[in-house]
A and B are shown apart, each in its own frame.
Chain A
């Protein structure tokens, strides 16, 4: 399997405190992690663990203070801003609250055509054709292509975000708490959708979540973060059946169960 995302000793500091007495604290200390094509790595941790910061560094939304991020063999740090623009096609992100990232005045079709337009790909009619195909793929009715974001439910809006992320056929998808704001019944649908499209498209996925049960369902590999550091990494079955770290056990005990 080819390595799509290679995080090598990646770290990020944030400064806090008064202007002259700023202290720099590490949001992420130093994390090394690989995600292969066709594989989902579940990144789990509590708030403040640095999991979202790591996710953002993985697709170049934040630049690391330490270490190296390599996507498809391309070190992100060596990309010029212009090259970065075209390279963004390869890496996409889905956020927790999709309603903020969807322009309220654009119809579903506009929203799905936009990624192609931004990258200057395809002709007009090809774009529309592809937009319709994307809507099909994420389970949005073609009849809804003319509707505006506020006319969709939360789950449907998350489908729109996923479709937009998939439009440019990325090799790497980072999903940051994509189902946390959803009801249980909708969450199940979206989780199934993530699984289906990944099996069909074979991209590498970094799935960030605080929910152990969700991570267990979606992941092939699991990475547990705490206070900016990676405390446990392994196959899903290993981590959930025989967790090596007490912290992982604490998280498992705290997870709601029936």
Chain B
């Protein structure tokens, strides 16, 4: 087990390093010049060159890369090109918000998806099942930002029960915090709930016909117990993978949804940084996301071995 962990953590390095190097090269090759943005619209060529020199952007790509590499291996992404702020601080501050939003959205998805999936799967072809399957098709087809706009229109503008935008830190006021994040979390969570619904329903349908379920029935156990203790137990394992992937795509979806609701998360930070070609900030954000993705995958595999005794590392 320890060996396995060490091996997996070792493999983490290239998984993060390769996209980081690609990102470095692509950013520098992409059109757009941060120096020009910093110097302002009215700046002369000399002024832009001066800014470029100050930022070290006039060195050759190779020299820039070596310098960059030297800093990045120490997890130092430097300062933002536009403000005297450490990238690490910026990313940490914004990531907090995104993680909070992701967790809330995941909670929404987990509360709705698997529960309805089991309900529909055990009543296959019933009215409930058909309604839910139809509903989930819509949920999968609809992008979360569209749902976000719809929710804003209904709950924010027409009924005015939720604020349409903004963010209050949890430490300041937990109630306002939830109040502000409710709509973004629901709009993100509902879409993922539809996916979770589909997978859990399929998992239940599959497990219902497994021989070991027939055995439990042949032993005279009541159907409720068979479903709860035997069918569900088998259906839950493949769900872990889906939840893991879902969490990943939630973070991706959060980037867009954040900008709809003006939530100061990682998405907002990244979007602004890309617009301004703020290389260090972009790199910091992507680094964070890459590490989270890889750790999430590791976590899923570890969870798998906890849930399925046939898998041992």
Residues of A within 8 A of B (CB): 18-21
Q: List 11 A-B contacts (CB under 8 A).
A: A18-B1, A18-B3, A18-B4, A18-B312, A18-B313, A19-B3, A19-B4, A19-B7, A19-B313, A20-B3, A21-B3
Nearest A-chain residue to B2, judged by Cβ: A20
Main secondary structure of the interface of A (DSSP, over half): loop
Task: Bin chain B's interface residue count.
Answer: under 10
Chain B residues 288-313 with CB under 8 Å of chain A are 312-313
Chain B residues contacting A18 (CB-CB under 8 Å) are: 1, 3-4, 312-313
Chain A min CB distance to B106 (Å): 32
Chain B min CB distance to A182 (Å): 22
| Seed contacts A18-B312, A19-B3, A21-B3; 8 additional CB < 8 Å A-B pairs | A18-B1, A18-B3, A18-B4, A18-B313, A19-B4, A19-B7, A19-B313, A20-B3
Chain B residues 1-50 with CB under 8 Å of chain A are 1, 3-4, 7
| Complex Cα gap A248–B116 (Å) | 58
Chain A min CB distance to B163 (Å): 52
| Complex Cα gap A236–B196 (Å) | 61
Chain A residues contacting B1 (CB-CB under 8 Å) are: 18
| Complex Cα gap A21–B4 (Å) | 11
Chain B residues contacting A21 (CB-CB under 8 Å) are: 3
Chain B residues contacting A19 (CB-CB under 8 Å) are: 3-4, 7, 313
Nearest B-chain residue to A20, judged by Cβ: B3
Chain B residues contacting A20 (CB-CB under 8 Å) are: 3
Chain B min CB distance to A20 (Å): 4
Chain B min CB distance to A17 (Å): 10
Chain A min CB distance to B84 (Å): 48
| Complex Cα gap A19–B312 (Å) | 10
Nearest B-chain residue to A21, judged by Cβ: B3
